[in-house]
């Protein structure tokens, strides 16, 4: 390729300061071209992208200067409190309700991951060092919690809603301590179980997710709710022991669902880090305990590249361009 042609491409290189693609991408993701809006011409994807960016931008406008990640800013504005009902922008976006359900359910998902990772970490390796029986695993998790009734813990978690029926940040407060502590994560699961019946409308529907024949899924908040009812007058230690059985059973179900035949050896391949041999459990490696990504951080970084947000001291703020194209002044 000649130098002449290469010169024509210099504006789209990483070193270029012009970034001619930004304007086009900003128009695509905000469904706004040259500052003009035509809702009648929007497709479903246009509405979804625009609504998500408007929600995040408004959350940054309201809470960005408080510091923290884009995800935590979004939680402050949408997951908790009354702003999605009273703020003129957030209340006008139907998807705000869905995001509340997603953000609240995310706490339960993360709690299960950390609880399972802690249980696996207690196991020994394939070499036979400190492999544990089911009873030993049940005893290990029971030792990590207090000897109080499940009902007592449920009472301690209340209230989960304010006087207007909006969620209070109970999970956030719990995780401000030792977020890897098994007792902390059991409390988060119990909070999610109560939210399953306290939430309503789009928030509840999104929080619960797809349902099979109107029933709950194994380990989902509704399942935990009924389990907590069964153990209401029993010790949390008994509940912890039961959760060991349920997590091991779920891990085996998932492993069997992924099982394949090795084409080279014609032997079954079991994709699992946890295995059972002679009624004893061992691990081949530890499980990760980080939260499942919601892609909010990536969206925030992308919005910065599109000129919709910028750093402001220890936090973030929206740009004048964002206030115009995303109509942040309702």
pLDDT in tens, 273-288: 888 888 888 898 888 9
pLDDT at 39: 79
Q: Is the pLDDT of residue 204 over 80?
A: yes
- Cβ contacts of 5 within 8 Å, gap of 6 or more: none
Question: How does pLDDT run across 81-121, given as a tens digit for each residue?
Answer: 999 999 999 999 999 999 999 999 999 999 999 999 999 99
Q: Please state the rounded mean pLDDT for residues 214-228.
A: 85
| pLDDT for position 193 | 97
Q: Supply the mean pLDDT for the chain.
A: 89
Token representation of residue 276 = 């059972």
Is 203 a residue whose pLDDT tops 60?
A: yes
Compute the C-alpha angle 214/215/217, nearest 5°: 130
Q: What is the pLDDT of residue 144?
A: 98
- The residues, ordered by sequence, that sit 6+ positions from 222 with a Cβ below 8 Å of its Cβ are 193, 196, 208, 215, 216
> Which whole number is the average pLDDT over 252-264?
79
Q: What is the pLDDT of residue 255?
A: 76
Using one digit for the tens of pLDDT, what is the confidence trace for 21-75?
788 888 888 988 755 577 788 888 889 999 999 999 999 999 998 888 999 999 9
Closest-CA residue to 52 (of 321, 316, 314, 308): 308
Q: Distance (Å, rounded) from C-alpha 102 to C-alpha 186?
A: 19
pLDDT at 129 over 60: yes
Query: What whole-number distance in Å separates Cα of residue 112 and Cα of residue 10?
Result: 49
Contacts with 287 (C-beta within 8 Å, 6 or more apart), sequence order: 113, 116, 117, 120, 121, 273
Give dist(CA 194, CA 264) in Å, integer: 49
Element containing residue 133 per DSSP (H, E): strand 132-133
């Amino acid at each position: 390729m000649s130098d002449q042609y290469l010169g024509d491409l210099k504006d789209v290189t990483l070193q270029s300061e012009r970034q001619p693609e930004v304007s086009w991408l900003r128009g695509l993701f905000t469904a706004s071209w040259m500052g003009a809006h035509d809702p009648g011409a929007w497709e479903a994807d246009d509405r979804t992208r625009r609504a998500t960016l408007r929600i995040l931008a408004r959350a940054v406008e309201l809470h960005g200067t408080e510091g923290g990640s884009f995800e935590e800013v979004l939680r402050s504005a949408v997951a908790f409190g009354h702003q999605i009902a009273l703020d003129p922008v957030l209340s006008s976006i139907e998807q705000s309700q869905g995001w509340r359900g997603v953000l609240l359910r995310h706490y339960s998902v993360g709690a299960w991951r950390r609880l399972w990772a802690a249980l696996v970490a207690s196991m020994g390796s394939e070499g036979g060092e400190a492999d544990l029986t089911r009873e030993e695993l049940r005893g290990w998790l029971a030792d990590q919690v207090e000897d109080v009734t499940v009902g007592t813990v449920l009472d301690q978690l209340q209230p989960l809603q304010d006087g207007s029926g909006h969620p209070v940040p109970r999970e956030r407060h719990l995780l401000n301590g030792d977020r890897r502590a098994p007792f902390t994560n059991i409390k988060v699961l119990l909070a999610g179980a109560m939210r399953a019946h306290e939430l309503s409308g789009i928030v509840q529907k999104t929080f619960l997710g797809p349902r099979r024949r109107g029933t709950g899924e194994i380990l989902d908040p509704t399942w935990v709710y009924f389990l907590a009812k069964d153990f209401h007058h029993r010790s949390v230690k008994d509940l912890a022991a039961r959760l060991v059985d349920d997590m091991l059973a779920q891990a085996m179900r998932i492993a069997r669902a992924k099982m394949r035949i090795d084409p080279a050896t014609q032997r079954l391949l079991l994709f699992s880090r946890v295995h059972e041999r002679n009624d004893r459990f061992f691990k081949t490696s530890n499980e990760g305990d980080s939260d499942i990504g919601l892609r909010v951080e990536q969206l925030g970084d992308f919005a910065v590249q599109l000129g919709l947000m910028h750093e402001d001291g220890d936090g973030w703020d929206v740009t004048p361009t964002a206030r115009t194209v995303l109509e942040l002044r309702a």
